[in-house]
Structure 1
Amino acid sequence: MAKKAIALAATVAVAAIALSGCSSSGSAANSITGKPTGTITVLTQRTDLVSDGTFKKYAAEFNKAYPDVTVKFEGVNDYENAIKTRLNGTKYGDVLAIPAAVKPSQLAQFFEPLGKTTDYSGKYRYTAQASYGGTQYGIVSGGNANGIVYNKKVWEKAGITKLPTTETEWLDDLKLIKSKTDAIPLYTNYKDGWPLSQGMGSLGAITDDPDAAIHMAENPKPWTEGTDIYAIDSLLFDSVHDKLTEPDPLSTDWEGSKTQLGAGKIGAMVLGSWAVSQMQAAAVKAGASADDIGYMAFPANVKGVQYATNAGDYAYGISKHSTAKAAAMAWITWFTEKSDYTKSQGMVSTLKDSPLPANLTGLSDAGVKLIEPAAAPKGKESLLSDVANQAQIDLYGQVYRQKLVDIARGAADGTKDGYFAELNTKWSAAVKQLVK
């Protein structure tokens, strides 16, 4: 599973962790500041980098600095669900990507505190993602811009010379791709499910609002025209409704879709910029060029200016139950500061003094401005996820958007306006209960 989770502090409604995990405090002899020794197991969603030996190479480099530490890796398929289950016990490795289903208020229950957030925020980006009450519990592995990955050759063949900046232009462009090429204009990856939530990464970009998450949490009717979530879900619905997506969504395939986009058989997919390097590799494997793969902002603008959010991917934390916490801390620090992970994956470095990756030059060339989601106000760190859970709407899952697609393609009863009204009703009831 070579996917990434949208790095926002949110949890799917029906998948919130009802956690009974035990907490334990590390002894002085087993603290993150001790001498790095022993064996650690790193749990990761990047199964592709485990299977192709990339992580093994990282471990070899790490051992040049820390010869007394043995690093083992476990690639976990269906990462979110698998780790959510394991967190109810004590066997969840030494270092692991913190799953989205862990609320900020639950971080201390499962992860070792790394220190004060103020000690990290000067050096690292995205610290708010793994922080609660002024304490840091993880360091983000890297960041991504959010938008749409596309095949330049397909768009050029369709005669498109200017990337879309509105939904109307977007739909018109997809219609050109459908009529002038053999490519599927937009691929949703409906069957795999998780790609349907990737549009959530653009929350805030549509309205140039770094505080979009908290504003959505407090809005009793967010699925109303003019909001970020309305634009995100409308784009999906209208693209499907106009038959500009794969003909059989029940048979989509994530790994296969990478090859198809790289080979020019798919025009675009809504994914974070982390996907660019994977699509480039797929293009080369298909006999095409890595340069065929481009990245564009969500088709929206504020007074003529387009924006793209720049947010963190998974943060890596240390298990409260680790018996080698100093070694675990050494690995996290080395991985984020010394490895070429973010560079090789085309991601934004967690280190504030590092330059942006080459794969984002397309955004800068188009005049797109990057914005970073703001930290939620104190006491409201998990408000968006709390409201989503209460409303039973899996913002970062796949259930409600699969239904949205089903309505759009005529496989389920309803209309866009009717479904949005239903979502607003559920959301409004949750807001009345939780927002004071």
Structure 2
Amino acid sequence: MRRGVSIAAVVTAVVLTASACGGSSSSDSSGKPKDPKDISGTITYWDTSDAATEAPTYKALVKQFEAKYPKIKVNYQNVPFTDVEQKFKSAAKSGKGAPDVVRTDVGLIAEYAELGYIAPLDGTPALKDTGDFNPVPMNTTKYKGKTYGVPSVTDTLGLLYNKKLLKRAGIAKTPTTWDEFIADSKTIKQKTGAFGTYLNPDSYFLLPLLYSNGADLADPAAKKITISGPAAVQALTTAKKINDEASMKVDFANAYQNMQTAFKNGKVAMLIQGPWSVSDDLTGTAFKGDEGNLGFAPVPAGAGGKAQSPTGGHDLTVYQGSTNLPASYLFTQFMTSTQSQIAIAKGTGTLPTRKSAYTSEVTADVKIAGFKPVLEQTARARVALPQVGSLFTPLAQNYVKILQGDESVKAGLDATAKQFQQLLPGYSLG
């Protein structure tokens, strides 16, 4: 589990800051910005995209960058997404082997910034035409009033559904509240034999229920842990009701795989899912050769009256200790430009973060077209805490116990809150 900032980390951050200050500058001796064509040197880029299906698109963009700026050489390295966090933190802490630019999960921005491993980008060439970015992914780059990343690709959770099953059940529109979601699920089961949904017991997929009930994991401004408050209890009570009354029986050992199989083969009508699942969905008997049967809608709203879902995706970040910051800024700018984002969307099927990148060619992709309005209507950044990733582990453990009936909702959330206190020193129970 990730803990708070250690003394060693603080010392490292100071060293890295000093190192960064001693590196190259993006200005000449008179203080005027350098001409980008005059910037030279070598930088290393860690790309975490899928090596087989996505990396070729990023490699092609690297070649285009080098052709545009021939004095800069990019050392491209594909690092598995599952390995990059520990690998980067180890390299940044030691000051040896860290990349100049790294593709970073949005949930890690606060932690990397707190540790001093990534550079603030405000006022640098890395941030260009920021008004063109969708404000939702742009919010993932912020920590304590500074900008530490540039949005590259984004995603969120929405409601995927089988149009034919809903039509057979006589349901004319998708549910807009969790109560409707449960009621529609029962109707679908009664009239079609298919299950209404399959509840994903992973804690990340619990966030739409928490958010839509006005709950969250913690409140950094008040330094309070809020996961056991009344709004969270209400959210988990609803989740338990979905599990007990609306969901296909959950196999907790293989929940994700079984959920996907059931949905894409027409045994489940509705899922809370992300755009990453669509390619797999379209291979199933319910949608293969009939992709128009796959529907997209926002997640339902809760007692808070507003449908909300977490923002995912990746931002490009610059290593604080880079010895070639000017080239790193320029590369980050290029890779997040409108044209680069169009190329990435067309090559990988991921959602762009720039509004201008949603061209007719890009939105010809069914999942991009389907999730674009969902992102704009319901997505919100996760709470900006360095420990946010670690909080999901105790929440997931107690969430499963609640769903299985081994803990009451209140007891499970109280236990979660106490575990959160170990990860959030100085926070009180809200």
TM-score (norm: length of structure 2): 0.71
Q: Tell me, what secondary structure is at the counterpart of 1:298?
A: coil
What amino acid sits opposite 2:293 in the alignment?
D
Change (3 A) 1:241 1:219: farther
Change (3 A) 1:56 1:43: closer
1:197: how far off? 0.9
Could you say which residue in structure 2 is the equivalent of 1:76?
Answer: 80
What amino acid sits opposite 1:318 in the alignment?
V
For each residue in 1:135-179, what CA deviation from the matched residue of structure 2 results, as whole angstroms up to 9, or x when unmatched?
432101133344333333443444433212222222223334445
**Residue number among 366, 370, 373 corresponding to 2:377 in the alignment:** 370
For residues 331 and 287 of structure 1, the distance between their equivalents in structure 2, rounded to whole angstroms, comes to 39
- Answer yes or no: is the 8 Å Cα contact 1:295–1:360 preserved in 2: no
The aligned runs of 1:321-360 (5 Å cut-off) are 321-337=321-337, 338-339=339-340, 340=342, 341-342=344-345, 349-352=352-355, 358=363, 359=367
Could you say which residue in structure 1 is the equivalent of 2:30?
Answer: none
1:111: how far off? 1.4
What amino acid sits opposite 1:98 in the alignment?
T
For residues 146 and 253 of structure 1, the distance between their equivalents in structure 2, rounded to whole angstroms, comes to 14
Could you say which residue in structure 1 is the equivalent of 2:288?
Answer: 287
For each residue in 1:23-50, what CA deviation from the matched residue of structure 2 results, as whole angstroms up to 9, or x when unmatched?
1315453659661543523231545644
**Is residue 2:156 matched to residue 1:151?**
no
Q: Tell me, what secondary structure is at the counterpart of 2:158?
A: strand
Change (3 A) 1:189 1:262: same
Larger radius of gyration: 2
Could you say which residue in structure 2 is the equivalent of 1:420?
Answer: 413
**Is residue 2:48 matched to residue 1:44?**
yes
For residues 221 and 212 of structure 1, the distance between their equivalents in structure 2, rounded to whole angstroms, comes to 6
**Residue number among 269, 272, 283 corresponding to 2:271 in the alignment:** 269
- Answer yes or no: is the 8 Å Cα contact 1:221–1:427 preserved in 2: no
- Answer yes or no: is the 8 Å Cα contact 2:54–2:348 preserved in 1: no
Unmatched runs of 5 consecutive residues or more in structure 1: 1-12
Give the aligned CA root-mean-square deviation in angstroms: 4.6
The aligned runs of 1:379-418 (5 Å cut-off) are 382=385, 394-395=390-391, 397-410=392-405, 413-418=406-411
For residues 189 and 371 of structure 1, the distance between their equivalents in structure 2, rounded to whole angstroms, comes to 19
- Size of the aligned set, in residue pairs, is 397
1:250: how far off? 0.5
1:317: how far off? 0.4
Change (3 A) 1:70 1:306: same
For residues 247 and 134 of structure 1, the distance between their equivalents in structure 2, rounded to whole angstroms, comes to 42
Could you say which residue in structure 2 is the equivalent of 1:175?
Answer: 186
- Answer yes or no: is the 8 Å Cα contact 1:40–1:72 preserved in 2: yes
Percent sequence identity over aligned pairs: 18
What amino acid sits opposite 1:88 in the alignment?
K
Could you say which residue in structure 2 is the equivalent of 1:434?
Answer: 427
Q: Tell me, what secondary structure is at the counterpart of 1:333?
A: helix
What amino acid sits opposite 2:407 in the alignment?
G
For residues 308 and 49 of structure 1, the distance between their equivalents in structure 2, rounded to whole angstroms, comes to 30
**Is residue 2:100 matched to residue 1:94?**
yes
1:311: how far off? 3.8
For residues 230 and 323 of structure 1, the distance between their equivalents in structure 2, rounded to whole angstroms, comes to 49
**Is residue 2:240 matched to residue 1:240?**
no
For residues 15 and 49 of structure 1, the distance between their equivalents in structure 2, rounded to whole angstroms, comes to 34
- Answer yes or no: is the 8 Å Cα contact 1:152–1:292 preserved in 2: yes
Change (3 A) 1:59 1:405: same
Unmatched runs of 5 consecutive residues or more in structure 2: 28-33
**Is residue 2:305 matched to residue 1:299?**
no
For residues 320 and 429 of structure 1, the distance between their equivalents in structure 2, rounded to whole angstroms, comes to 29
**Is residue 2:194 matched to residue 1:162?**
no
Could you say which residue in structure 2 is the equivalent of 1:141?
Answer: 152
- Answer yes or no: is the 8 Å Cα contact 2:113–2:119 preserved in 1: no
For residues 244 and 409 of structure 1, the distance between their equivalents in structure 2, rounded to whole angstroms, comes to 13
Change (3 A) 1:252 1:429: closer
For residues 318 and 237 of structure 1, the distance between their equivalents in structure 2, rounded to whole angstroms, comes to 42
Change (3 A) 1:137 1:306: closer
Change (3 A) 1:138 1:427: closer
What amino acid sits opposite 1:223 in the alignment?
S
- Answer yes or no: is the 8 Å Cα contact 2:154–2:353 preserved in 1: yes
